Amino acid sequence: MAGNKRVTLAEVAALAGVSAITVSRAIRQPGIVSEKVKNRVEAAVRELGYVPNPAARLLATGRSNVIGVVIPSITNNVFADVVSGIYDAVEGTDFEVQLGNTRYSPSQEEGLLRIFSSQRPAGLIVAGIDQTAASLDMLASIDCPVVQIMELSADPVGHCVGLSHYEAARHASAHLVEQGYRRVGFLGARMDPRTQRRFSGFREVAEAAGVFDERRVCTTTTPSSVTLGSQLLADLLAKAPDVDAIFCNNDDLALGALFEAQRRRLSVPDQLGICGFNDLEMVSAAEPAITSVFIPRYQMGRQAVDLVTQGIASDGENPTEIRDLGFELRARRSTARKQD
Amino acid sequence: MAGNKRVTLAEVAALAGVSAITVSRAIRQPGIVSEKVKNRVEAAVRELGYVPNPAARLLATGRSNVIGVVIPSITNNVFADVVSGIYDAVEGTDFEVQLGNTRYSPSQEEGLLRIFSSQRPAGLIVAGIDQTAASLDMLASIDCPVVQIMELSADPVGHCVGLSHYEAARHASAHLVEQGYRRVGFLGARMDPRTQRRFSGFREVAEAAGVFDERRVCTTTTPSSVTLGSQLLADLLAKAPDVDAIFCNNDDLALGALFEAQRRRLSVPDQLGICGFNDLEMVSAAEPAITSVFIPRYQMGRQAVDLVTQGIASDGENPTEIRDLGFELRARRSTARKQD
DNA sequence: TTGACAAATGATAGCGCTGTCAAGAATGAT
DNA sequence: ATCATTCTTGACAGCGCTATCATTTGTCAA
């Protein structure tokens, strides 16, 4: 049953005493062949260890079983969870996942999409809504379900599964204000469009509450890291020593900021409130536990795949769906300034 | 140049005024067609936006450009970095990466390998050396370069790029002893074979130094997390309150243990030394910074791809290579008990 | 100029599978 | 028993590309 030479349909057919096309049908649509033949074919398949050749199938049908996934980073925990949801959702189906990594570069994304679209994918899942015009053109004209994830688009090219990062940031910022913090600051890394939307949410709430100050904003285009969070807090304290709370662009920064606060013997949450974003597992375990905004990363992956498979099942003509998966502020000790 | 209907070789050939096969050659082996024809073909390719159909190519050549990668988890930072190295190394070549996730299940691994081998991959990269007998059979008989990564095998099925986790753990454990800790413990999660090898390293060094005690070993088969690190330390302190240092199976546990120590006002490193494994970015940023064993994850990915591409270039008959990429103990404050 | 040889290009077949249509077998109503 | 209908099965062609061999063109020495 091992053996490394390929077994073809024809060989299975010969062994089962039927024609090749019948074997093909027995495998793909077991319902339409007779019980007897199906059993014979199954036995032959098992005996020879036959595995279909996907390339031949693809060539013959012009449709692949590959769901292309385009994300900006594979090391970022957020996308790792999304991808995990995608893989789990694909498990047990006939689909395969093909990952593409844009490294946060719109032009690399364009290149990846060009390649993907030339391979007649079964579906396409892309992170974000900030594609280039050319990328959007490709997505609009490609003949397969397309799902944008992470965010909600006012003008989606296909389906959309995500949440409003702007609203989520507003929520978190309002929480800081509610907790009594009056000199709130912002720590941001990478500053990609998604981050900037979070920043606007923060800024608007802070301004409305009259607690916004440019001096308390520390951002960089450098990729995020825990170490960077420490540095950014150090920079912020240098510029604005009176800051009493920070909203961090993501949890790495928040954790780094917590460590820096510990180094400086700044008590969290009393002297400094810290709020992160994403709610990675580690921030809930921190001491003190860090407040963060949970976003349903894993679910986004799963549901994106669902939309793709549904789109294929309904043969394309189902309406564009926009799923707002929301977010959840998880208030923890790091922002518990008021007694509770 | 956009357009979503496929452009075929034949159309390019017609436009360039040559035959299909000439176009094929102009693309794959530009050296063997005349300058004039090559230019005409290139112009036609550009004008039509031609992209080769990989399925047809695969069917015709019987060789795909897919490097299969089999790892136990996609969310684990360690593998994320390995995968990142793999993707970076593949970038700019003609190869593609196809990821398979075993979820630490040998039988799932076997299934994945079965699928991969049926697709005539260009190469196969698998994590670890603890495959089932059936998996090893497949790997041994498959007609493409195979690379086992993460560890060093005494009896590799193909190439090997990794390090001795046993030795690395010995090193880290010896460090704890050197620092003057005398009641060292071990925290372990998942307890997969790789983890167990680390445990043996720890155990042997601790026993040799006369500081080993079963009561100071806390392990679980649960997947690792920061929260789990806190719990395991709590369990350990309940069983053996006199423990003065811990070697943690990985950095998540180490960070969780640090947080738990902070909650209990146990001073690190004086009352409790903490050593992690992997040297993820976050532990170096922690307060106090956590000692850990760096392993060249990213490089493992890169070099695995190199071995695959070399193997293909040399057409199979290059000798099996075993690359020990080593490790590096990064001693930090969390184990700096002696004055320094 | 001619022939010998190399370089460049083309014709043909086929990779393994599935879509399409045609034919045969089974079923039920009359 | 006969015919119409459905259910099963098969023959054939072709998806887009490349391996192989055949042919044409170009180059150089005699």
> In this structure, are A189 and A267 located in the same domain?
yes
Determine the Cα–Cα distance for residues A220 and A248; give it in Å rounded to an integer: 12
> In this structure, are A206 and A257 located in the same domain?
yes
CA distances from A170 to A7, A128, A164, A176, B120 (A): 59, 19, 10, 10, 51
> In this structure, are B155 and B69 located in the same domain?
yes
Of A98, A256, A286, the CB nearest to B285: A256
User: Residue A1 falls within a domain, yes or no?
Assistant: no
pLDDT given at position B2: 35
pLDDT given at position A6: 79
| Mean pLDDT, all residues of chain B | 94
DSSP string, B56-101: HHHHHHS---EEEEEES-SSSHHHHHHHHHHHHHHTTSS-EEEEEE
**Cα angle: A49, vertex A50, A53; to 5 degrees:** 145
Q: List the one residue out of B122, B226, B177 whose CA is nearest residue B331.
A: B177
pLDDT band at B4 (very low <50, low <70, confident <90, very high): very low
User: Residue A4 falls within a domain, yes or no?
Assistant: no
Mean pLDDT of B299-322: 89
DSSP code for A163: E
Of B2, B4, B55, the CB nearest to A59: B55
Q: Say whether the CB atom of B34 is under 7 angstroms from strand C.
A: yes
Task: Classify the C-alpha dihedral A74-A76-A78-A81 as positive or negative.
Answer: positive
CATH of the domain at A265: 3.40.50.2300
User: Residue B3 falls within a domain, yes or no?
Assistant: no
The number of folded domains in chain B is: 3
User: Residue A123 falls within a domain, yes or no?
Assistant: yes
| Burial of A94 from C-beta contacts in 10 A (0-12 / 13-18 / 19+) | exposed
Reduce the DSSP state of residue A1 to 3 states and report it.
Answer: coil
> In this structure, are B259 and B177 located in the same domain?
yes
Mean pLDDT of A7-28: 92
pLDDT band at B92 (very low <50, low <70, confident <90, very high): confident
Determine the Cα–Cα distance for residues B240 and B233; give it in Å rounded to an integer: 10
Mean pLDDT of A225-231: 98
For chain A, positions 3-22, list CB contacts with chain B under 8 A.
3-4, 6
Phi/psi at B44 (5° precision): -65, -40
User: Residue A100 falls within a domain, yes or no?
Assistant: yes
C1' of D7 to CA of A90 (Å):
34
Determine the Cα–Cα distance for residues B278 and B190; give it in Å rounded to an integer: 15
Reduce the DSSP state of residue A339 to 3 states and report it.
Answer: coil
> In this structure, are B304 and B281 located in the same domain?
no
**Cα angle: B99, vertex A308, A112; to 5 degrees:** 50
Q: List the one residue out of A38, A41, A66 whose CA is nearest residue A54.
A: A66
Q: Assess contact for A185 and A218: CB atoms under 8 A.
A: yes
Q: Assess contact for B292 and B279: CB atoms under 8 A.
A: yes
Reduce the DSSP state of residue A152 to 3 states and report it.
Answer: coil
Mean pLDDT of B61-70: 91
pLDDT band at A3 (very low <50, low <70, confident <90, very high): very low
> In this structure, are A126 and A144 located in the same domain?
yes
Most confident of A17-21, A114-118, A136-140, B286-290: B286-290
- Nearest protein residue to nucleotide D18 (CA to C1' distance) is B60
Determine the Cα–Cα distance for residues A336 and A269; give it in Å rounded to an integer: 6
Q: Is A110 on the interface with B (CB under 8 A)?
A: no
Q: Assess contact for A59 and B58: CB atoms under 8 A.
A: no
| Mean pLDDT, all residues of chain A | 93
Instruction: Sort out which chain B residues have CB atoms less than 8 A from A99's CB and list them.
Output: 87, 97, 99
- Nearest protein residue to nucleotide C7 (CA to C1' distance) is B32
> In this structure, are B277 and B302 located in the same domain?
no
Q: List the one residue out of A217, A279, A222 whose CA is nearest residue A104.
A: A222
C1' of D25 to CA of A59 (Å):
36
CA distances from A35 to A13, A41, A124 (A): 16, 10, 37
Q: List the one residue out of A100, A96, A163, A95 whose CA is nearest residue A128.
A: A163
For chain A, positions 215-254, list CB contacts with chain B under 8 A.
225-227, 229-230, 252
Chain B residue nearest residue A137, CA to CA: B2
Determine the Cα–Cα distance for residues A71 and A192; give it in Å rounded to an integer: 13
pLDDT band at B338 (very low <50, low <70, confident <90, very high): low
Instruction: Sort out which chain A residues have CB atoms less than 8 A from B80's CB and list them.
Output: 74-75, 77, 80
Q: Kind and range of the H or E element at A58?
A: helix A54-61
pLDDT given at position B316: 63
C1' of D28 to CA of B44 (Å):
34
Q: Assess contact for B232 and B217: CB atoms under 8 A.
A: no
Mean pLDDT of A146-172: 97
CATH of the domain at A44: 1.10.260
Q: Which amino acid is at A334?
A: S
Q: Is B48 on the interface with A (CB under 8 A)?
A: no
pLDDT given at position B1: 35
Determine the Cα–Cα distance for residues B223 and B225; give it in Å rounded to an integer: 7
Q: List the one residue out of A144, A142, A128 whose CA is nearest residue A95.
A: A144
Contacts 24+ apart (CB under 8 A), A310-316: A310/A145, A311/A123, A311/A144, A311/A145, A311/A159, A312/A122, A312/A123, A312/A144, A312/A145, A316/A143, A316/A145
* Structure token digits, residue A240: 């604005």
Q: Say whether the CB atom of B282 is under 7 angstroms from strand C.
A: no
CA distances from A154 to A145, A320, A322 (A): 18, 12, 10
Alpha-carbon distance A204 to nearest alpha carbon in chain B (angstroms): 31
> In this structure, are A192 and A260 located in the same domain?
yes
pLDDT tens digit sequence for A170-196? 999 999 999 999 999 999 999 999 999
Q: Say whether the CB atom of A14 is under 7 angstroms from strand C.
A: no
End-to-end CA distance of chain B: 66
Domain range for A177 is 165-294+330-335
For the cut 50, the answer to whether the pLDDT of residue A2 exceeds it is no
pLDDT band at A338 (very low <50, low <70, confident <90, very high): low
Q: How far is CA B110 from the centre of its chain?
A: 18
Q: Which residues touch strand D (CB under 7 A)?
A: A 18-22, 25, 32-34, 36-37, 56, 59-60, 62; B 6, 8-10, 20-21, 24, 27-28, 50, 52-53, 56-57, 59-61
pLDDT tens digit sequence for A92-113? 888 999 999 999 999 999 999 9
- Chain C nucleotides covered by protein, CB below 7 Å: 7-12, 14-20
Reduce the DSSP state of residue B217 to 3 states and report it.
Answer: strand
Answer whether A83 sits within 8 Å of B74, measured CB to CB: yes
Mean pLDDT of A211-235: 98
Mean pLDDT of A52-70: 91
Higher-confidence residue of A313 and B181: namely B181
C1' of C13 to CA of B61 (Å):
14
For the cut 90, the answer to whether the pLDDT of residue B208 exceeds it is yes
User: Residue B1 falls within a domain, yes or no?
Assistant: no
> In this structure, are B133 and B251 located in the same domain?
no
Determine the Cα–Cα distance for residues A117 and A166; give it in Å rounded to an integer: 31
Q: Is B1 on the interface with A (CB under 8 A)?
A: no
> In this structure, are B193 and B288 located in the same domain?
yes
pLDDT given at position A288: 98
User: Residue A151 falls within a domain, yes or no?
Assistant: yes
Reduce the DSSP state of residue A309 to 3 states and report it.
Answer: helix
Q: List the one residue out of A154, A207, A121 whose CA is nearest residue A322.
A: A154
Tally of CB atoms within 10 A around A271: 14
pLDDT tens digit sequence for A240-287? 999 999 999 999 999 999 999 999 999 999 999 999 999 999 999 999
DSSP string, B281-300: HHHHHSSSPPBEEE--HHHH
Strands A159-163 and A146-151: parallel
% pLDDT > 70, chain B: 97
Give the CA radius of gyration of chain B. Answer: 25
pLDDT tens digit sequence for A294-306? 999 999 999 999 9
For the cut 90, the answer to whether the pLDDT of residue B139 exceeds it is yes
List CB contacts of B91: < 8 A, sequence separation 6 or more. Answer: none
pLDDT band at B151 (very low <50, low <70, confident <90, very high): very high
pLDDT given at position B94: 84
Q: Assess contact for B130 and B193: CB atoms under 8 A.
A: yes
Reduce the DSSP state of residue A269 to 3 states and report it.
Answer: coil
pLDDT given at position A126: 98
pLDDT tens digit sequence for B247-283? 999 999 999 999 999 999 999 999 999 999 999 999 9
For the cut 90, the answer to whether the pLDDT of residue A63 exceeds it is no
> In this structure, are B23 and B13 located in the same domain?
yes
For the cut 80, the answer to whether the pLDDT of residue B3 exceeds it is no
* Structure token digits, residue B243: 């423990």
Q: Kind and range of the H or E element at A218?
A: strand A217-219
* Structure token digits, residue B57: 């190519």
User: Residue A108 falls within a domain, yes or no?
Assistant: yes
> In this structure, are A197 and A313 located in the same domain?
no
- Nearest protein residue to nucleotide D7 (CA to C1' distance) is A32
Tally of CB atoms within 10 A around B215: 12
pLDDT band at B5 (very low <50, low <70, confident <90, very high): low
Q: Is B119 on the interface with A (CB under 8 A)?
A: yes
